[in-house]
Protein backbone atom coordinates (compact mmCIF):
# COMPACT_ATOMS: atom_id res chain seq x y z
CA UNK A 1 0.00 0.00 0.00
CA UNK A 2 1.59 3.24 -1.18
CA UNK A 3 0.13 5.36 1.61
CA UNK A 4 2.08 3.45 4.24
CA UNK A 5 5.30 4.75 2.71
CA UNK A 6 4.84 8.48 3.36
CA UNK A 7 2.65 11.33 4.44
CA UNK A 8 0.52 12.14 1.43
CA UNK A 9 0.38 15.88 2.11
CA UNK A 10 4.00 16.73 1.34
CA UNK A 11 4.67 19.05 -1.59
CA UNK A 12 7.30 21.43 -2.91
CA UNK A 13 6.28 25.03 -2.09
CA UNK A 14 8.21 26.21 -5.16
CA UNK A 15 5.64 24.39 -7.33
CA UNK A 16 2.87 26.69 -6.09
CA UNK A 17 2.50 30.19 -7.48
CA UNK A 18 0.78 33.13 -5.86
CA UNK A 19 -2.95 32.79 -6.47
CA UNK A 20 -4.30 35.85 -4.68
CA UNK A 21 -6.36 36.88 -7.72
CA UNK A 22 -7.83 33.42 -8.41
CA UNK A 23 -11.34 32.22 -7.53
CA UNK A 24 -11.96 28.77 -6.07
CA UNK A 25 -15.06 26.75 -5.41
CA UNK A 26 -15.10 24.05 -2.76
CA UNK A 27 -17.98 21.61 -2.62
CA UNK A 28 -18.19 19.58 0.60
CA UNK A 29 -20.28 16.56 1.49
CA UNK A 30 -22.13 16.80 4.81
CA UNK A 31 -22.13 13.01 5.15
CA UNK A 32 -19.25 11.90 7.42
CA UNK A 33 -18.87 15.54 8.46
CA UNK A 34 -16.17 14.79 11.04
CA UNK A 35 -13.98 13.76 8.11
CA UNK A 36 -15.18 16.21 5.46
CA UNK A 37 -14.83 19.23 7.75
CA UNK A 38 -11.22 18.20 8.39
CA UNK A 39 -10.70 17.87 4.62
CA UNK A 40 -12.16 21.36 4.18
CA UNK A 41 -9.75 22.75 6.78
CA UNK A 42 -6.88 21.18 4.83
CA UNK A 43 -8.02 22.61 1.51
CA UNK A 44 -8.42 26.07 3.02
CA UNK A 45 -4.93 25.84 4.52
CA UNK A 46 -3.46 25.02 1.10
CA UNK A 47 -5.24 27.96 -0.54
CA UNK A 48 -4.13 30.28 2.25
CA UNK A 49 -0.49 29.29 1.65
CA UNK A 50 -0.91 30.58 -1.93
CA UNK A 51 -2.38 33.88 -0.71
CA UNK A 52 -5.88 33.16 -2.00
CA UNK A 53 -8.20 35.81 -0.56
CA UNK A 54 -11.02 34.44 1.59
CA UNK A 55 -13.54 36.45 -0.46
CA UNK A 56 -12.44 34.39 -3.49
CA UNK A 57 -13.23 31.04 -1.86
CA UNK A 58 -16.83 29.91 -2.31
CA UNK A 59 -17.94 26.91 -0.24
CA UNK A 60 -21.04 24.88 -1.06
CA UNK A 61 -22.30 22.03 1.10
CA UNK A 62 -24.22 19.08 -0.34
CA UNK A 63 -25.92 16.22 1.53
CA UNK A 64 -23.61 13.40 0.41
CA UNK A 65 -20.76 12.51 -1.91
CA UNK A 66 -23.17 11.48 -4.68
CA UNK A 67 -24.27 15.13 -4.87
CA UNK A 68 -20.72 16.51 -5.22
CA UNK A 69 -20.80 16.73 -9.04
CA UNK A 70 -24.10 18.63 -8.95
CA UNK A 71 -22.74 21.03 -6.32
CA UNK A 72 -19.58 21.52 -8.37
CA UNK A 73 -21.72 22.25 -11.44
CA UNK A 74 -23.63 24.91 -9.49
CA UNK A 75 -20.36 26.55 -8.44
CA UNK A 76 -19.10 26.51 -12.02
CA UNK A 77 -22.33 28.05 -13.31
CA UNK A 78 -22.78 30.68 -10.60
CA UNK A 79 -19.27 31.58 -9.38
CA UNK A 80 -17.13 30.98 -12.49
CA UNK A 81 -14.15 29.70 -10.46
CA UNK A 82 -10.69 28.96 -11.82
CA UNK A 83 -10.91 25.55 -10.07
CA UNK A 84 -13.32 23.51 -7.95
CA UNK A 85 -12.25 21.20 -5.14
CA UNK A 86 -14.66 18.35 -4.35
CA UNK A 87 -14.42 16.93 -0.82
CA UNK A 88 -16.22 13.86 0.45
CA UNK A 89 -15.83 10.58 2.27
CA UNK A 90 -17.37 7.24 1.33
CA UNK A 91 -16.70 4.37 3.75
CA UNK A 92 -17.14 0.76 2.63
CA UNK A 93 -20.24 -0.91 4.01
CA UNK A 94 -21.74 -4.34 3.70
CA UNK A 95 -23.38 -3.78 0.30
CA UNK A 96 -22.29 -2.74 -3.19
CA UNK A 97 -23.67 0.78 -2.56
CA UNK A 98 -20.05 1.89 -1.96
CA UNK A 99 -19.00 0.81 -5.47
CA UNK A 100 -21.88 2.60 -7.20
CA UNK A 101 -21.40 5.83 -5.25
CA UNK A 102 -17.61 5.95 -5.70
CA UNK A 103 -17.72 5.25 -9.44
CA UNK A 104 -20.54 7.73 -10.06
CA UNK A 105 -18.83 10.50 -8.10
CA UNK A 106 -15.46 9.93 -9.77
CA UNK A 107 -17.02 9.91 -13.24
CA UNK A 108 -19.13 13.00 -12.51
CA UNK A 109 -16.19 15.02 -11.20
CA UNK A 110 -13.94 13.99 -14.08
CA UNK A 111 -16.57 14.80 -16.69
CA UNK A 112 -17.22 18.27 -15.24
CA UNK A 113 -13.56 19.18 -15.53
CA UNK A 114 -13.34 17.95 -19.08
CA UNK A 115 -16.58 19.61 -20.17
CA UNK A 116 -15.82 22.99 -18.59
CA UNK A 117 -12.06 22.90 -19.16
CA UNK A 118 -11.22 23.83 -15.58
CA UNK A 119 -9.72 21.70 -12.81
CA UNK A 120 -12.39 19.89 -10.81
CA UNK A 121 -10.32 18.09 -8.22
CA UNK A 122 -11.27 14.71 -6.72
CA UNK A 123 -10.72 15.06 -2.97
CA UNK A 124 -13.00 12.18 -2.02
CA UNK A 125 -11.81 9.55 0.41
CA UNK A 126 -12.92 6.02 -0.46
CA UNK A 127 -11.86 3.97 2.53
CA UNK A 128 -12.54 0.58 4.07
CA UNK A 129 -13.26 2.00 7.52
CA UNK A 130 -13.46 5.15 9.64
CA UNK A 131 -9.89 4.76 10.93
CA UNK A 132 -8.50 4.94 7.38
CA UNK A 133 -10.57 8.07 6.74
CA UNK A 134 -9.27 9.69 9.93
CA UNK A 135 -5.68 8.85 8.98
CA UNK A 136 -6.19 10.67 5.65
CA UNK A 137 -8.02 13.71 6.99
CA UNK A 138 -5.31 15.04 9.27
CA UNK A 139 -3.87 11.84 10.72
CA UNK A 140 -0.69 9.94 10.03
CA UNK A 141 -1.22 10.00 6.25
CA UNK A 142 -1.70 13.75 6.10
CA UNK A 143 -4.80 15.53 4.87
CA UNK A 144 -6.26 14.67 1.46
CA UNK A 145 -8.12 17.99 1.53
CA UNK A 146 -4.80 19.82 1.73
CA UNK A 147 -3.52 17.67 -1.12
CA UNK A 148 -6.62 18.49 -3.19
CA UNK A 149 -6.00 22.19 -2.57
CA UNK A 150 -2.39 21.86 -3.72
CA UNK A 151 -3.58 19.94 -6.79
CA UNK A 152 -6.02 22.75 -7.68
CA UNK A 153 -3.27 25.34 -7.26
CA UNK A 154 -0.91 23.37 -9.50
CA UNK A 155 -3.53 23.00 -12.21
CA UNK A 156 -4.75 26.61 -12.51
Q: How many CA atoms lie within 13 A of 52 on its CB side?
A: 27
Residue 66 within a domain: yes
pTM reported for the whole predicted model: 0.92
Structural domain that includes position 69: 32-155
- The enclosing domain of 40 has a CATH number of 3.40.50.960
For residues 87 and 29, is the Cβ–Cβ distance under 8 A?
yes
Question: Could you report the per-residue pLDDT of 29-84, keeping only the tens digit for each?
Answer: 999 999 999 999 999 999 999 999 999 999 999 999 999 999 999 999 999 999 99
Active site members? 97
How confident is the prediction for the chain on average, in pLDDT? 93
pLDDT band of residue 7 (cuts 50, 70, 90) is low
Amino acid sequence: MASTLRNLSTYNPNDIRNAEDKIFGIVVSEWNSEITNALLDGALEALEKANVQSKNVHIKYVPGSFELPFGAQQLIDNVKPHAVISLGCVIQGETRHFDFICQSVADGIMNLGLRHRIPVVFGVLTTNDLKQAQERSGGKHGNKGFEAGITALKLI
